[in-house]
Structure 1
Amino acid sequence: MMDAPPLAVDVDGTLTDGQGAIDHRVLPVLREWPAPVVVATGKSMPYPIALCQFAGIEGRVIAENGGVVAVADTDTLRFEGDRAAAQAVADAYVEAGYSLGWREIDFVNRWRETEIAVAREQPLAPLESIAAERGLEVVDTGYAYHVKSPDVSKGQGLEVVADELGLDPAAFLAVGDSENDVSTFEVAGEAVAVANADDAALAAADRVTDDAYADGFFEAIGVDPIR
């Protein structure tokens, strides 16, 4: 384990069980990993920061699909993307008769700084059309539709984190499950998709695990967790 690479890991679908909850076995594994761990997710920053806190690791986070990058080691906090433009897309979508699909107290978007997320149960085509008219894109993470700037990605976020840590992005092992992990896979030296990954992630990965969700994560990093 002393030769373990730095790790860039997605959350939903990768550190979770099949029901969307964090698999409790990942917490000691992340804490004991002997190289830097970067948590890369489509969620807003409070969620991965909390995960780092409760796992007992440094707050090295790529949130909002690369829109937010935080590196506690160097007191770095960066925001990329255009939250106002994403909100304008959401407003136009609602004005056209659609819904973002969340409850009135929208915890999904409440703390977002650079993008807007829409529930996957909502119509995608009009959302994509409205976003494209405003120069934005929609990324399907398998858990939500994210309206974001096209020049922002998790991969670019990993390049920022690696630079802050004095590491080569190619030194990283990246593990993920979704379209939004493809850019991370392209930047990292080794990319592993868990078995439940979508087609884009499967195609971009260097290898695919036999196991799904958190079990796939453990397989990807070569760890047999305590059950």
Structure 2
Amino acid sequence: MIELILTDLDGTLTMDRGTYLLDTRAIEALRRAERAGIRVALVSGNSYPVLRGLYNYLGITGGIVAENGCFVYYNFQTERVCETIPRSVVEDFRNKFNLRESWQNEFRKSDFGFTPAQITPEIKAWADERGLVVQSSGYALHLAGKPGGKGAGVKRLLELVGVQSEKVGAIGDSRTDIEMFTYAKVKAAVGNADPDLVKEANVKLKLKSGAGFTEFIEMILG
């Protein structure tokens, strides 16, 4: 039986990919899961303040993995999982590659977002030379301190919650969700997910984004 659901935010709980509008049916679905005794956790590249506010208003209890795995919250306990990046390095990266910073970077310490979202060989080489991790979610380019990636944060969250991966379900839409799937038995890709994520999924949903999340919860609850 699934005891914990890990869900991405953008493109998974929203109306579609590329919009901030939450799907209200998906919100009601995650609340149905919570009422049924299944905890729901947010696992996202967004900053901790954004996710913590949303977490409180949604009324979920499974914890938070923020900054693409670099920051974890559960039961009033917070932990930084990744190395921090000095602000001077962030600015050097932005200026060298003529990138636009996410407004959330003001609240980040380990994983920083930029657009455009494409990773070039030059960007990859620059990050490698400095021992940093670079990823693209399709929405943003992320520069992170090691170990970087959602996997590290999810691993720590499961330790804090006290649940094994055999009792975990995960749902997402992006390549950055592949690491999250490593720690779940049920791995669901919404209907409009990146092809790379679909390849790793053992549940391929028909409906897109928030509607796909609702489809997933209905499947879990039977």
Whether TM exceeds 0.5 here: the answer is yes
User: Counterparts of 1:126 and 1:143 in 2: how far apart (Å)?
Assistant: 20
**1:103-182 correspondence to structure 2 within 5 Å:** 107-120=103-116, 124-182=120-178
Cα drift, residue 40 of structure 1: 0.3
User: Counterparts of 1:10 and 1:51 in 2: how far apart (Å)?
Assistant: 13
By relative contact order (CA 8 Å, sep 6+), the higher-ranking structure is 2
Q: Secondary structure at the match of 1:25?
A: helix
Cα drift, residue 169 of structure 1: 2.3
Q: Secondary structure at the match of 2:107?
A: coil
Percent of pairs with identical residues: 28
Q: Which amino acid in structure 1 is aligned with residue 156 of structure 2?
A: V
Contact preservation (8 Å) 2:83, 2:145: yes
**1:1-227 correspondence to structure 2 within 5 Å:** 5-18=3-16, 19-33=19-33, 34-58=37-61, 60-72=63-75, 75-84=76-85, 87-96=87-96, 98-102=97-101, 107-120=103-116, 124-222=120-218
If the length of structure 2 is used for normalisation, what is the TM-score? Answer: 0.87
Cα drift, residue 150 of structure 1: 4.5
Instruction: Provide the alpha-carbon RMSD of the alignment.
Output: 2.2
Give structure 2 stretches of 5+ with no counterpart.
none
C-alpha change, 1:42 and 1:145, in structure 2 (3 Å) is same
C-alpha change, 1:93 and 1:113, in structure 2 (3 Å) is closer
Contact preservation (8 Å) 2:117, 2:136: no
User: Counterparts of 1:150 and 1:207 in 2: how far apart (Å)?
Assistant: 30
C-alpha change, 1:57 and 1:12, in structure 2 (3 Å) is same
C-alpha change, 1:94 and 1:146, in structure 2 (3 Å) is closer
Contact preservation (8 Å) 2:137, 2:176: yes
Q: Which amino acid in structure 2 is aligned with residue 54 of structure 1?
A: Y
User: Counterparts of 1:218 and 1:130 in 2: how far apart (Å)?
Assistant: 41
Q: Which consecutive segments of 4 or more residues in structure 1 shift more than 6 A?
A: none
Q: Which amino acid in structure 1 is aligned with residue 63 of structure 2?
A: R
If the length of structure 1 is used for normalisation, what is the TM-score? Answer: 0.85
User: Counterparts of 1:134 and 1:178 in 2: how far apart (Å)?
Assistant: 26
Q: Which amino acid in structure 2 is aligned with residue 48 of structure 1?
A: L
